[in-house]
Amino acid sequence: MVKEDLIEDIKKKRANISVLGLGYVGLPLAVTFANAGFNVTGIDPIQEKVEMINRGESYISDITNAQLRKHIDSGRLRATTDYSVLAEIDAVSICVPTPLRKTGDPDMSFIASASEQIAPYLHRSMVIVLESSTYPGTTREFVLPKLTANNNLKVGEDFFLAFSPERVDPGRKDYTTFNTPKVLGGITPACTDVAKAWYEQAIETVVPVSTAEVAEMAKLLENTFRMINISVVNELAQMCERLDVDVWEVIDAAATKPFGFMKFTPGPGLGGHCIPIDPLYLSWKMKTLKYTARFIELASEINTGMPRYVVNRIQDALNRYRKPLNGSKVLILGVAYKPNISDMRESPALDIIHLLREKGAIVTYYDPFVPELDFENIQMTSEKDLPASVENVDLVAIITNHAKIDYNMVVDKAQLVFDARNATKDVPKASLKVIKL
Ligand code: SAJ
């Protein structure tokens, strides 16, 4: 009766919930469970984050202080760095990072640590859901053995384990943790039942699938689809340049097709912690099975080649005006990995800055969302006066097209513009000074 009793406790909101990892996925998830009436204990190893949460201060833009404070003041939600609270917890969501190592292999250390921290407190009538994007088989082959290493609890009978991919798109207002359909698959059917009974108390639509592997693979299909389609248009941009055809016009024309087409746009490369990374978890797993995921590897090669392609195009643009790149002043306009956010993870702007400097360019940047850059070999401060900065360089390279920038002013004051995002599409007379990807 373990399964039925746990589902009863969940439905009655008697079950105590924990979310392990309070980042852009975990904190909104914790608040979503609290909104549904559960008592939630967030766990994170970073003391500063825990203290901010317990003061009702949100460090995640998708969660306001008011949304957080409501549950802190009512005592429904609290945070801690102490994993021993798990002894009193009935349901745990694991929302920890899954980055890549420098070698390009999956970094499973965060999932390993979370599993090992939970194991001593694993008890009968407990459900655990892994949310971190990872390779198919992780939940069954990697997490389960760590949970049961020092006990004889039986998955699907004594406790329950499932995978449910996060689908958080930071900054998006129309889709939230609550109303984004949630795929969920268990190690056993009973695991799927228990996890589904839990998640559907707090999330509008839960989509059960037959196994954890199906859920893991569905997530990777979502982001592999995106990564490969972006690489297609990145290669198309290179073809169009050789054909002297405007790739942006081509894509806009193709996008008029009301069915059977989905618009993607070329750019300076692929940033973020999902799209360029998740597909490589799949290709890595397939390598262990002696299978080469050719599309993923080719797409990754094209996307990672875009920063160098952009720098070559910048060099050609200056060359037209008899200016060697070496010694020319180049302003990078927009460095975040995508428009209107401050996130720099995997941003192609960093590669472009590095490559330009390697060729002797004098590089500055302006990004209203990123006041400072402090990465391995790049320590820079954003220019403060955009008009003056634009006037003072040989070329402005629009790398990330933040909406708040006045591109009319940029084109008006610049000597030369390389536009990697078609940000100047509505600027009259842009063609006189703007060279587009
Ligand atoms: N990019 C292009 N061309 C495109 C779309 C994106 O070059 O047509 C670039 C962006 O500039 C960025 C990178 O790709 O550097 C990733 O962009 P993204 O729009 O995919 O944004 P992300 O990384 O925030 O992706 C997230 C993902 N959400 C989750 O993994 C839960 C992704 O699945 C979503 O589809 C995406 O948000 C979204 O739709 O906004």
pLDDT, one tens digit per residue, over 209-244 is 999 999 999 999 999 999 999 999 999 999 999 999
* Closest ligand 1 atom to 347 CA: 15
Shared domain check, 420 and 291 = yes
Question: CA 126 to CA 92: how far, in whole Å?
Answer: 8
Residue 114 and residue 21 in contact, taking contact as beta carbons nearer than 8 Å = yes
Mutate to test the pocket of ligand 1, among 167, 169, 270 (most ligand atoms within 8 A of CB): 169
306 lines ligand 1 (CB under 6 A): no
Residue 112 belongs to domain with CATH number: 3.40.50.720
275 lines ligand 1 (CB under 6 A): yes
Q: What pLDDT score does 170 carry?
A: 83
Residue 429 located in a structural domain: yes
Measured CA to CA in angstroms, residue 347 lies from 339, 377, 412 at distances of 11, 14, 27
Q: What pLDDT score does 56 carry?
A: 96
Using only C-alpha atoms, the chain has a radius of gyration, in whole angstroms, of 24
Smallest CA-to-CA distance from 397 within 383, 377, 380, 416 is with: 416
- Mean local confidence (pLDDT), 269-278: 93
Shared domain check, 294 and 178 = no
Shared domain check, 237 and 123 = no
What is the DSSP secondary structure assignment for residue 115, as one 8-state letter?
H
How many separate domains does the chain show? Answer: 2
For ligand 1, atom 7, name the residue with the nearest CA. Answer: 267
Residue 217 located in a structural domain: no
Residue 430 located in a structural domain: yes
Q: What pLDDT score does 122 carry?
A: 97
222 lines ligand 1 (CB under 6 A): yes
SS3 content of the chain, % helix, strand, coil (to 5): 40, 15, 45
Mutate to test the pocket of ligand 1, among 24, 183, 221, 226 (most ligand atoms within 8 A of CB): 226
Q: What pLDDT score does 291 carry?
A: 98
Shared domain check, 205 and 249 = no
Residue 276 and residue 346 in contact, taking contact as beta carbons nearer than 8 Å = yes
pLDDT surpassing 90 at residue 293? yes
Shared domain check, 188 and 132 = yes
The pTM (predicted TM-score) of the whole model is 0.93
Shared domain check, 310 and 278 = yes
Smallest CA-to-CA distance from 269 within 323, 205, 159, 350 is with: 350
Print the domain residue range for 286.
227-436
Express each pLDDT in 149-192 by its tens digit.
999 999 999 999 999 999 998 888 899 999 999 999 999 999 99
Residue 412 located in a structural domain: yes
Residue 156 located in a structural domain: yes
Shared domain check, 200 and 271 = no
Residue 185 and residue 162 in contact, taking contact as beta carbons nearer than 8 Å = yes
390 lines ligand 1 (CB under 6 A): no
Question: CA 216 to CA 359: how far, in whole Å?
Answer: 42
Q: Is 191 a catalytic residue?
A: no
Measured CA to CA in angstroms, residue 143 lies from 60, 111, 113, 186, 358 at distances of 27, 7, 10, 13, 43
For ligand 1, atom 26, name the residue with the nearest CA. Answer: 169
Shared domain check, 236 and 173 = no
What is the DSSP secondary structure assignment for residue 211, as one 8-state letter?
-
Express each pLDDT in 6-29 by its tens digit.
999 999 999 999 999 999 999 999
Residue 63 located in a structural domain: yes
Q: Of 210, 238, 269, which residue is a domain's last?
A: 210
Shared domain check, 398 and 324 = yes
Shared domain check, 272 and 199 = no
DSSP 3-state of 379: strand
Q: Of 146, 181, 210, which residue is a domain's last?
A: 210
Shared domain check, 232 and 206 = no
For ligand 1, atom 15, name the residue with the nearest CA. Answer: 271
Mutate to test the pocket of ligand 1, among 174, 223, 274, 344 (most ligand atoms within 8 A of CB): 274
Question: CA 9 to CA 198: how far, in whole Å?
Answer: 10
Q: Of 178, 210, 242, which residue is a domain's last?
A: 210
- Residue from 95, 191, 240, 274 carrying the catalytic annotation: 274
Measured CA to CA in angstroms, residue 361 lies from 250, 307, 419 at distances of 32, 15, 18
The position carrying tokens 């940033």 is 271
Residue 386 located in a structural domain: yes
Widest CA span in the chain: 80
Measured CA to CA in angstroms, residue 296 lies from 22, 224, 231, 310, 354 at distances of 30, 7, 10, 22, 25
Residue 421 located in a structural domain: yes
337 lines ligand 1 (CB under 6 A): yes
- Percentage of residues of the chain with pLDDT beyond 70: 100
Shared domain check, 267 and 371 = yes
For ligand 1, atom 38, name the residue with the nearest CA. Answer: 169
Instruction: Give how far the C-alpha of residue 272 lies from the chain's centroid of Cα atoms, to the nearest Å.
Output: 5
